[in-house]
């Protein structure tokens, strides 16, 4: 009796089929920390690229707004033009920042696990509405890991923020002593530097979390030895099904082979066991082709079809065995059998001419055909040895 797979320990690595089934269900390794880090680092890089342009635009907008006259402020048409200019100046750097951030968010979320969309994952599941399952998720191992990550992330970010504020405290205080435009430029530069360093601190969490998510995903998909066997059996097919398929394939191949017999030039037989059908087309091949062969019942069927379509049947046990064991279907006979087969074809041609009254009766074929020693076999297919 087979051991229940649920009682076995899952020690085997998941197969490619198991991984694909999990992907189809939307189960892929994901790291929220990696996505968050990519978004924040992307924002920092976007600030480096577009921050100065945005700061200059804001400074220009502030200058133009503070220089408006009372008449312009109360003129609706004038204010519409002002807002249009503001949108034109600020819109381009803001748009570049948003697009860069969107790309960073997309890449960060597919970097681990790749792109995956599953209707099965999107479909509502009733077990998610079960309070017991909710408590298990709240107090399970995964919840503990997430809590540890949250505490670690807060601690790392808080520590790095404190260190940065301590290190750049004098520079932050010095901003207020400069001119307005200098303060804006200095603030943007310092903000870029502090924000970038603060975001990079999250990479420490990502370095730990991403490999853990891959390991945890692989652990959840591990299989028992019985599951491996069952999957292999399902993939390869049940023995009885495979046997039936092979049987049907043999029947189809045999039917195709039998359909070639009416076009054969001659069928060479061993009166009790073997039949081989040969066809010679000198314009397409340099030697005769074996179009059909068989033993016992198949051999008898070949002879039956040959007689039905008036294909000459020649008895030559030695040659029939040699062709059967040395030549594959649809292949030319070996060079060593050219002479023997040529004699058979010549005899068949002369016999047809005699039957039409156009020649003499051909001389019967010799009992021993000119067959090389290495191609001679007995009735069991074993090579014949000469003393």
At 79-114, the pLDDT tens digits run 788 788 778 778 888 888 888 888 888 888 888 877
pLDDT digits (tens, 9 = 90+) for 32-73: 888 888 888 888 888 888 877 877 787 777 777 777 777 777
pLDDT < 70: residue spans in the chain: 1-8, 117-140, 180-181, 184, 234-241, 379, 384-387
> Is 241 contained in some domain?
no
Residues 270 and 216 placed together within one structural domain of the fold: no
Residues 163 and 285 in one domain: no
- What is the model's pLDDT at position 34? 85
Q: Tell me, yes or no, whether 180 and 90 share the same domain.
A: yes
List Cα–Cα distances, 147 to 143, 150, 377, in angstroms: 6, 5, 79
Residue-wise over 170-208: b if at least 16 C-beta within 10 A, else e? eeeeebeeeeeeeebbbbbbebbbbbbbbbebbebbbee
214 and 263 share a domain?
no
Print the domain residue range for 106. Answer: 28-116+123-220
Note whether residue 19 is domain-resident: no
Q: What is the pLDDT of residues 109-127, one digit of tens each?
A: 888 877 776 656 556 666 6
Co-location of 173 and 294 in the same domain: no
Q: What is the pLDDT of residue 124?
A: 61
Number of domains present in the structure of the chain: 2
Same domain for 149 and 97, yes or no, is yes
- Tell whether 200 and 71 lie within a shared domain: yes
Q: Residue 138 falls within a domain, yes or no?
A: yes
Kindly state whether residues 197 and 306 are assigned to the same domain. no
Q: Is 5 within a domain?
A: no
Statement to judge: residues 53 and 193 lie in one domain: yes
With 0-12 / 13-18 / 19 or more C-beta atoms within 10 angstroms meaning exposed / middle / buried, residue 35 is buried
242 within 8 A of 249, measured Cβ to Cβ: no
Answer yes or no: do 32 and 82 share one domain. yes
| Nearest of 307, 227, 313, 207 to residue 267 by alpha carbon | 313
Are 284 and 156 part of one and the same domain?
no
Is 142 contained in some domain? yes
Rounded Cα distance, 46 and 199, in Å: 13
Task: Look at residue 246 and tell me if it is in a domain.
Answer: no
Measured CA to CA, the distance from residue 314 to residue 353 in angstroms comes to 16
As a dihedral over the C-alpha atoms of residue 323, residue 329, residue 331, residue 334, rounded to 10 degrees, the angle is: -10
> Is residue 209 included in any domain, yes or no?
yes
CATH of the domain at 344: 3.40.1690.10
Q: What is the pLDDT of residue 386?
A: 45
Q: Are residues 55 and 184 in the same domain?
A: yes
Is position 235 within any domain? no
| pLDDT value at residue 126 | 62
| pLDDT score for 278 | 92
Instruction: Report the predicted TM-score, pTM, of the whole model to 2 decimal places.
Output: 0.47
């Amino acid at each position: 009796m087979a051991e229940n797979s649920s009682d076995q320990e899952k020690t085997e690595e998941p197969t490619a089929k198991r991984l694909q089934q999990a992907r189809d269900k939307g189960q892929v390794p994901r790291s929220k920390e990696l996505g968050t880090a990519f978004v924040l680092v992307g924002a920092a890089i976007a600030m480096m690229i577009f921050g100065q342009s945005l700061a200059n635009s804001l400074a220009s907008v502030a200058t133009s707004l503070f220089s408006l006259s009372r008449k312009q402020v109360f003129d609706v048409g004038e204010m519409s033009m002002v807002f249009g200019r503001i949108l034109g100046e600020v819109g381009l750097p803001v748009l570049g920042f948003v697009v860069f951030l969107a790309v960073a968010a997309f890449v960060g979320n597919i970097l681990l696990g790749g792109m995956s969309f599953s209707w099965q994952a999107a479909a509502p599941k009733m077990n998610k509405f079960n309070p017991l399952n909710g408590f298990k998720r709240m107090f399970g191992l995964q919840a503990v890991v997430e809590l540890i990550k949250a505490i670690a992330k807060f601690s790392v970010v808080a520590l790095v923020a404190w260190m940065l504020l301590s290190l750049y405290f004098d520079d932050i205080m010095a901003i207020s002593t400069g001119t307005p435009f200098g303060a804006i430029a200095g603030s943007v530069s310092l903000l870029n530097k502090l924000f970038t360093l603060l975001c990079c601190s999250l990479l420490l969490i990502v370095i730990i979390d991403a490999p853990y998510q891959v390991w945890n995903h692989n652990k959840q998909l591990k299989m028992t030895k019985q599951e491996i066997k069952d999957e292999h059996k399902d993939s390869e097919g049940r023995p009885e099904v495979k046997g039936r398929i092979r049987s049907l394939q043999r029947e189809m191949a045999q039917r195709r082979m039998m359909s070639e017999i009416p076009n054969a030039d001659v069928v060479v037989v061993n009166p009790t066991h073997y039949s081989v059908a040969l066809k010679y087309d000198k314009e397409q091949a340099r030697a005769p082709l074996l179009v059909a062969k068989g033993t016992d019942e198949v051999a008898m069927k070949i002879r039956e079809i040959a007689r039905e379509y008036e294909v000459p049947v020649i008895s030559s046990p030695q040659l029939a065995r040699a062709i059967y064991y040395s030549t594959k279907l649809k292949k030319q006979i070996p060079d060593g059998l050219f002479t023997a087969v040529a004699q058979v074809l010549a005899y068949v041609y002369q016999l047809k001419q005699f039957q039409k009254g156009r020649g003499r009766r051909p001389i019967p074929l010799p009992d021993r055909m000119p067959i090389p020693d290495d191609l001679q076999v007995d009735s069991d297919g074993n090579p014949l040895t000469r003393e």
